[in-house]
Chain A
Amino acid sequence: MSDDHLRDRMSASNPVPPSHPVDPVTSDRARSLMEGIMSTPTSESTSETNRETNSEAGDTRNGTGMRRRTRLVTAIAAALVILTGVGGFIASRGSQPESPPLVLSAEGGNALASCLQFDVDILADMSPAFAGTVTELTDSVATIDVDKWYTGGDADTVEIQYQPGFEALIGTPNLEVGQRYLITATAGTVNGCGYSGPATADLEAAFDQAFGG
Chain B
Amino acid sequence: MNHQSDPDQQRRDRFGTLFAEVYEPVQRYVRRRVEATAVDDVVSDTMLTLWRRLDEVPVEAHLPWSYGVARRNIANWRRSNMRRVRLLRRVAAEPRHPETSGHPLDAELEIALTMLDGADRELIELWAWEQLEPAEIALVLGVSPNAASVRLHRAKKRLAGNLEIAGKTGGSSGHSHGVQSKEDSS
A binding-site residues for B, Cβ under 8 Å: 1, 3, 5-20, 22-25, 30, 33-34, 37-38, 40, 42, 44-46, 49, 52-62, 66-67, 69-70, 73-74, 77, 80-81, 83-98, 133, 145-149, 154, 156, 212
**Closest Cβ–Cβ distance, residue A45 to chain B (whole Å):** 4
B129 contacts A10, C-beta separation under 8 Å: yes
A-B contact pairs, 13 of them (CB 8 A): A9-B109, A13-B109, A15-B32, A18-B182, A42-B51, A55-B68, A59-B69, A62-B49, A73-B44, A85-B36, A88-B110, A133-B83, A146-B79
Q: In the assembly, what is the distance between CA of A45 and CA of B56, in Å?
A: 9
Contact A3 B105 (CB under 8 A): no
Are A1 and B163 in touch, CB under 8 angstroms? yes
A94 to B44, CA, bound (A): 22
Closest Cβ of chain B to A96, distance in Å, is 5
User: Which chain A positions have C-beta within 8 A of B106?
Assistant: 9, 12-13
Q: Give CA–CA (A74, B78) in the complex, Å.
A: 19
Residues of A within 8 A of B65 (CB): 55
Interface of B is mostly: helix
What are the residues of chain A within 8 A of B102 when measuring CB–CB? 85
Inter-subunit contact A89/B52 (CB<8 Å):
no
Residues of A near B127 (CB, < 8 A) are 7, 10
Contact A87 B101 (CB under 8 A): yes
Q: How far is the CA of A178 from the CA of B118 in the complex (A)?
A: 30
**B180 x A25 contact (CB < 8 A):** no
Please list the residues of chain B having a beta carbon within 8 angstroms of any beta carbon in chain A.
Answer: 11-12, 15-16, 19-20, 23-25, 27-28, 31-37, 39-41, 44-45, 47-49, 51-56, 58, 65, 68-69, 71-73, 75-76, 78-80, 82-83, 85, 96, 98-103, 105-106, 109-110, 113-114, 118, 124-125, 127-129, 131, 139, 141-143, 156, 159-160, 163, 175-183, 186
Q: Are B101 and A34 in contact (CB under 8 A)?
A: no
Are B55 and A70 in touch, CB under 8 angstroms? no
Cα A54 to Cα B65 in complex, Å, equals 11
